Amino acid sequence: MVEGMEKKLADGEVLFREGEKGDVMYLIREGKIKITKGGDDDEKVLAVLKEGDFFGEMAIIDGSPRSASAIAATPASLLVIDKETFKSKIRENPLIEYVLETLTKRLRTTDEQIRLLTIKSEERRVVAYIITKAKETGTKVTDGIQITPFSLENLAHLTGIDEGKIKGYVDNLVKANLVTLGDNTMTIRGVADLDDYLRYIALKEKFERIH
């Protein structure tokens, strides 16, 4: 039996938000937890978990940010299992540890692809992918945040967009001095600037449709 601390939540209380760092997972003892993606105006409920269900394990396996938000759908009592307790249990069987890490990477990739494919605009899809990779796996360097490995071919595969079109979108980012390209790398000068550029594209497309 895995031991852990207990945490109680009131109805509607936020346990964690999408994008936050996580170093614990949870087992529901009582109540229900709602798993969501998106903000208040565009919230999508992915699942409602109940007593006996667990969640949050992906963040402590691969160290990536939370892929969704967790909010109490009713008053709830949770068992909190920290990273070291979880890791010590799976280390008892190296094969289980390897399988879990492999499955988590596959789930992360699939989740990312599904999210990107829901963005209709191809240019916004490309920029959204670059922002996500910078936040989740980017490495801080002198000039900004570096994504390695990076290739137009791989980006085309992940986003479902023609490689020629992607080159045009990336060239626009380079001309705007938002990113620089190196040997199998891309360096983002500032994620906040890319976020602004993404909003600019969305507004531009909106008003182009009106006219």
Per-residue model confidence as pLDDT tens digits over 138-165: 899 998 999 999 999 888 887 778 899 9
Predicted local distance difference test score (pLDDT) of residue 110: 58
Residues 89, 127, single domain; the answer is: no
Strand pairing class (5-9; 33-37): unpaired
What average pLDDT does this structure show over 126-148?
88
Q: Which residues pair with 33 in a beta bridge?
A: 49, 72
DSSP at 38: S
Question: pLDDT tens-digit profile of 172-200?
Answer: 999 999 999 998 999 999 888 988 988 88
Question: Using CA atoms, how far apart are residues 58 and 1, in angstroms rounded to an integer?
Answer: 20
Q: Which of 85, 109, 133 is the last residue of a domain?
A: 109
What average pLDDT does this structure show over 7-26?
92
Q: Which of 77, 109, 141 is the last residue of a domain?
A: 109
| 115 domain-assigned | no
pLDDT grade for 1, boundaries at 50, 70 and 90 = very low
What average pLDDT does this structure show over 13-40?
89
Residues 127, 202, single domain; the answer is: yes
Nearest to 70 by CA among 50, 56, 90: 56
Q: Is the pLDDT of residue 90 over 80?
A: no
What average pLDDT does this structure show over 21-50?
87
Total domain count for the chain?
A: 2
pLDDT grade for 69, boundaries at 50, 70 and 90 = very high
Higher pLDDT among residues 107 and 158, named by residue: 158
Residues 98, 161, single domain; the answer is: no
Residues 158, 196, single domain; the answer is: yes
Range of the domain at 142: 121-210
Residues 9, 105, single domain; the answer is: yes
Residues 97, 11, single domain; the answer is: yes
pLDDT grade for 133, boundaries at 50, 70 and 90 = confident
Both tokens assigned to 117: 């494919």
Contact 7, 78 (CB under 8 A): yes
Question: Using CA atoms, how far apart are residues 190 and 192, in angstroms rounded to an integer?
Answer: 5
Q: Is the pLDDT of residue 114 over 60?
A: no
In the chain the beta strands, taken as DSSP E runs, fall at 5-9, 14-16, 24-30, 33-37, 44-49, 54-55, 69-72, 76-82, 139-141, 144-147, 179-182, 185-188
Q: Is the pLDDT of residue 57 over 70?
A: yes
Predicted local distance difference test score (pLDDT) of residue 112: 63
Predicted local distance difference test score (pLDDT) of residue 210: 59
pTM: 0.49
Predicted local distance difference test score (pLDDT) of residue 58: 78
Q: Which of 53, 83, 109 is the last residue of a domain?
A: 109
Residues 13, 102, single domain; the answer is: yes
pLDDT grade for 48, boundaries at 50, 70 and 90 = very high
CA distance readout (Å), 89 to 3, 36, 85, 160, 193: 11, 28, 6, 39, 42
Per-residue DSSP letters for 161-183? Answer: --HHHHHHHHHHHHHTTSEEEET
Q: What is the CATH number of the domain that holds 21?
A: 2.60.120.10
Residues 23, 74, single domain; the answer is: yes
The percentage of residues in the chain with a pLDDT greater than 90, rounded to a whole number, is: 35
Residues 96, 152, single domain; the answer is: no
pLDDT grade for 74, boundaries at 50, 70 and 90 = very high
Contact 70, 55 (CB under 8 A): yes
| 116 domain-assigned | no
